[in-house]
């Protein structure tokens, strides 16, 4: 329901502002907004259709894992932890394995792999959902942690910074990691409070220690590397993980003596169907965002907030990166465009350039993810998913500003 109101508000506010601009003499305002609807419709269609190949690949690979029993064994291994967060899911259910794989792909910045795995997990959770129109507790926990955007290796952001000539494209690594961890922790706590989940247990504490050890190990591995070496390290590690996962699934089928090719084809057939199902939801949110952005509302909010902060006698340097923060929950591509605009306007190595990078990696596109994931299984009532997702977003963005001031001011 919340997304419904936001969708209506984006269109309505954008249109009203457009009318005001026309009355003030800007005759191109409404035509520009209208053109944005066609452009964003095309972008949404092409983006979703372009996902078909990835969906087909990973749904086929996952089918091999299910048929061979690998996903079930993975779920059994992780059940002591995941069952604490998802008490509605039966122990050893395949959804637990899919959820873990989705989170692992997100943490490594593997968006192309994370999305189809996440859609698969959402479908499995929907099978357990008794009220098919309403999001279950497990689906809400899964998506809020997903939208919090925990990413350990932000390869794409470092690549953009390198392309724009940053002196050290990797200098945003630590503040970005700290910001996205804050977002994830706050999102986890917010949902746990609503669902009355006790996080102070042995399994969760062990996970926290393991994550801390992995982060420390990663810092140690890249310590002393130059920019090019870090990028090569991340690229090689990502390739090893992805190709290793594919080989692992294939050989799990070989060991169990199943026809892995037929299993892959059976699972892959659903890739196109899922992609087509996503098109209406993707186009809906992107068109609304396009109208709101083209109306100039984002710039108006930015200018107003900057004036207010200055009037209070506070430092307003962070306001220059505000468009990234405002766009990020709505559209990842739009937020990326705002980040690149900050690079062009203020400089990639400026405070605003650094902050824009950290904001881009601090959280994920909450509304877009909710629309796509819930839309793929026909969920219409999101309950408190939007609220908890936005709480995580705000936490990540506030942390991004704080750590950016600490590291770069």
Residue with tokens 């942690």: 145
Q: Which one, of 214, 178, 88, lies nearest residue 403 by Cα? A: 178
DSSP helix/strand/coil, 381 = strand
- Please report the pLDDT score of residue 244 as a whole number: 83
Rounded-to-10 torsion of CA 309, 312, 314, 315 = 40
Grouping H, G, I as helix, E, B as strand and the rest as coil, residue 56 is helix
Predicted confidence (pLDDT) per residue in 346-373, tens digit? 888 888 889 998 888 888 878 878 888 8
Closest CA to 332 of 352, 359, 350, 354: 359
Q: Is the pLDDT confidence value at 270 over 80?
A: no
Answer with the residue of higher pLDDT: 82 or 108. 82
- Model confidence pLDDT, tens digit, residues 103-128: 777 775 555 567 778 888 898 899 88
**219/98 Cα distance (integer angstroms):** 28
Predicted confidence at residue 51, as pLDDT, reads 66
**Predicted TM-score (pTM) of this structure:** 0.70
pLDDT of the residue at 348 = 85
Say what percent of the chain tops pLDDT 90.
8
- Confirm if 306 and 23 have CB atoms less than 8 A apart: no
- The 10s digit of each residue's pLDDT in 163-206 is 778 777 777 877 888 888 889 889 989 999 999 888 877 777 78
Higher pLDDT, 110 or 276: 276
How far apart are alpha carbons 24 and 27 in whole angstroms? 8
Q: Is the dihedral of CA 377, 10, 282, 121 positive or negative?
A: negative
Please list, residue by residue across 105-122, b when 16 or more beta carbons sit within 10 angstroms of its beta carbon and e when fewer do: bbbbbbebbbbbbbbbbb
Question: Is 323 within 8 Å of 43 (Cβ atoms)?
Answer: no
Q: Mean of the pLDDT values across residues 234-247?
A: 74
Q: Which helix (H) or strand (E) holds 369?
A: helix 366-376
């Amino acid at each position: 329901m919340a997304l419904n109101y936001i969708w209506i508000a984006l269109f309505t506010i954008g249109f009203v502002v457009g009318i005001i601009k026309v009355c003030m003499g800007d005759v191109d305002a409404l035509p520009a907004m209208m053109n944005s609807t066609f452009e964003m419709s095309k972008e949404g269609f092409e983006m979703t259709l372009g996902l078909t190949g990835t969906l087909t690949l990973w749904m086929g690979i996952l089918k091999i894992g299910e048929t061979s029993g690998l996903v079930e064994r993975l779920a059994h291994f992780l059940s002591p932890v995941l069952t604490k967060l998802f008490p509605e899911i039966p122990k050893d259910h395949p959804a637990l394995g899919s959820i873990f794989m989705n989170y692992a792909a997100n943490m490594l910045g593997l968006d192309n792999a994370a999305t189809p795995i996440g859609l698969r997990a959402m479908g499995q959770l929907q099978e357990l959902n008794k009220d098919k129109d309403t999001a279950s507790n497990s689906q809400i926990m899964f998506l809020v942690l997903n939208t919090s955007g925990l990413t350990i290796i932000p390869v794409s952001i470092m690549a953009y910074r390198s392309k724009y000539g940053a002196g050290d494209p990797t200098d945003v690594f630590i503040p970005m990691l700290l910001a996205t961890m804050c977002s994830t922790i706050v999102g986890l706590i917010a949902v746990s409070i609503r669902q009355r989940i006790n996080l102070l247990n042995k399994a969760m504490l062990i996970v926290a220690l393991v994550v801390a050890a992995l982060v420390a190990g990663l810092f140690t591995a890249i310590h002393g590397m130059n920019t090019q070496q870090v990028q090569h390290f991340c690229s090689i590690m990502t390739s090893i993980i992805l190709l290793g996962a594919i080989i692992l699934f294939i050989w799990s089928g070989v060991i169990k003596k199943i026809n892995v090719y037929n299993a892959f084809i059976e699972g892959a057939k659903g890739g196109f169907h899922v992609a087509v199902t996503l098109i209406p939801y993707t186009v809906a949110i992107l068109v609304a965002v396009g109208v709101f952005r083209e109306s100039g509302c984002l710039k108006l909010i930015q200018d107003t907030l900057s004036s207010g902060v200055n009037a209070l006698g506070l430092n307003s340097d962070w306001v220059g990166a505000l468009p990234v923060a405002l766009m990020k929950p709505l559209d990842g591509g739009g937020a990326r465009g705002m980040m690149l605009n900050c690079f062009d306007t203020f400089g990639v190595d400026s405070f605003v350039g650094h902050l824009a990078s950290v904001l881009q990696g601090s959280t994920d596109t909450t509304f877009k993810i909710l629309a796509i994931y819930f839309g793929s299984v026909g969920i219409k009532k999101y309950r408190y998913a939007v609220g908890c997702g936005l709480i995580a977003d705000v936490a990540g963005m506030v942390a991004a500003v704080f750590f950016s001031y600490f590291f770069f001011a």
